Amino acid sequence: MKLTGAAGAAYCAKPDPAAAGLLLYGQDAMRVSLRRQEAIAALIGPEGEAEMRLARLSGGDVRKEPALLMDAMKAQGFFPGPRVVFVEEATDTIAPAVTEAFRDWRPGDAQILVTAGGLTAKSALVKLFESHPTARCLGIYDDPPSREEIESTLGKSGLRDIAPEAMTDLLSLAKELDPGDFRQTVEKIALYKWGDGTPLTPADVIAMAPATVDAEVDDVVEAVAEGRGAAVGQLMRRLEGQGVQPVTLCIFAMRHFRTLHALVVDPRGPASFRLRGPRKDRAMRQAESWGARRLEDALALLVETDLTLRSASRAPAMALMERALIRLAMMRR
């Protein structure tokens, strides 16, 4: 049977214990691994591996010695309970061994869970699991988690009272982070809110979101927009050490100042809807303190700097960008 989308996520959270097997495949190994961990934990419980009810095999070993799969599937453990045979890094070369195992599979045998990389619809493994009466097949793609998946992840971490604006920020964060990083961030948020009966807010999400180069670039831009010229030099040295290019800084600065200009021209326009929580309040304060005329002058300076950076000028690019940002910070005062 073929599973897709939300149905696939729901099945991994609560797989059928009477099924013969499950195939998980996809290009993103982290996403496949997270689904595999979830499915195995649901099938054998938290103590399953310690009780030796999980057998691990590599696809290469099964290809060389197909009987390993059959033996692991039929083996009876010392501890009672459901068992799983996990075959990792599989390819279509193990399809004959899985076919033979499915032919002899009986209720009470270990369930066969196979993970693989990118497989096509014509893959022998995909066809085998899709056509089997009780086995399932799930292709995992690079789509960000849905609202339901995020709510499920938060629920497992003990977070159920979430402000709508915080959920919007979490959805945006899920699109930017790798699945593993996002799960770690959710666990960090849950620990941060432990014993706190108030709803999760956008400020909580921002406080716990992982620091990235983009966030540090934003720190420089925010310092400039607030007239803190003394902080620009130190922040620039840090970004330069990380390999951030002057043109990148210029692009971020232009984007921010265009947002401020849009807020001044139309405080309830599209730019306002793209910002939420503390970020919106901070941007509104900056926009009001600059005013439309000075923001237009700031954008003119940034456009001129961008053209110079992209030209054949021999001036040190980072020094040129730093001087422009300091001039902007002075304009704010």
The pLDDT value given to residue 272: 57
126 or 333: which leads in pLDDT: 126
What is the spatial distance between Cα 209 and Cα 77, in angstroms, rounded to a whole number?
43
CA quadruple 283, 284, 286, 290: dihedral positive or negative? positive
Do both 42 and 109 map to the same domain?
yes
Q: Which helix (H) or strand (E) holds 249?
A: helix 246-265
Do both 199 and 255 map to the same domain?
no
Q: Which two tokens stand for residue 286?
A: 């900056």
What CATH number is associated with residue 51?
A: 3.40.50.300
Containing structural domain, residue 68: 2-140
Asked whether the predicted pLDDT for residue 88 surpasses 70, the reply is yes
The pLDDT value given to residue 203: 77
Domain termination residue (choose one: 140, 162, 177): 140
Do both 223 and 257 map to the same domain?
yes
pLDDT (average), residues 106-113: 94
pLDDT (average), residues 224-242: 85
What is the pLDDT confidence band of residue 113, given thresholds at 50, 70 and 90?
A: very high
112 bridge partner residues: 21, 85
The pLDDT value given to residue 19: 95
pLDDT (average), residues 65-83: 91
Asked whether the predicted pLDDT for residue 233 surpasses 90, the reply is no
The 10s digit of each residue's pLDDT in 139-149 is 987 666 777 77
Do both 161 and 52 map to the same domain?
no
What is the spatial distance between Cα 74 and Cα 201, in angstroms, rounded to a whole number?
51
242 or 300: which leads in pLDDT: 300
CA quadruple 264, 266, 272, 277: dihedral positive or negative? positive
Domain termination residue (choose one: 165, 183, 208): 208
The pLDDT value given to residue 271: 57
Asked whether the predicted pLDDT for residue 150 surpasses 80, the reply is no
Contact 139, 132 (CB under 8 A): no
Do both 263 and 315 map to the same domain?
yes
Asked whether the predicted pLDDT for residue 81 surpasses 60, the reply is yes
Within a 13 Å sphere around the CA of 135, how many CA atoms are in the beta-carbon half?
Answer: 26
Do both 183 and 266 map to the same domain?
no
Q: How confident is the prediction for the chain on average, in pLDDT?
A: 85
CB atoms within 10 A of CB 106: 8
Do both 133 and 7 map to the same domain?
yes
The pLDDT value given to residue 300: 93
The 10s digit of each residue's pLDDT in 10-55 is 899 899 999 999 999 988 788 898 889 999 999 999 889 888 999 9
The 10s digit of each residue's pLDDT in 259-296 is 899 888 877 766 555 666 677 788 888 988 999 999 99
> Which of 125, 3, 126 is closest to 69 using CA atoms?
125
Do both 174 and 116 map to the same domain?
no
Q: Which two tokens stand for residue 316?
A: 């040190």
Do both 314 and 197 map to the same domain?
no
Termini Cα distance of the chain: 66
- CA 266 → CA 6, 252, 256, 300, distances in Å? 39, 21, 15, 20
Do both 154 and 29 map to the same domain?
no
The 10s digit of each residue's pLDDT in 201-216 is 887 877 777 655 455 7
Number of domains in the chain: 3
Which pTM was predicted?
0.55
Asked whether the predicted pLDDT for residue 172 surpasses 70, the reply is yes
pLDDT (average), residues 220-228: 90
Kind of pairing between the strands at 84-90 and 21-25:
unpaired
Could you tell me where the DSSP H helices lie in 65-200?
67-74, 95-104, 124-131, 147-156, 164-176, 179-192
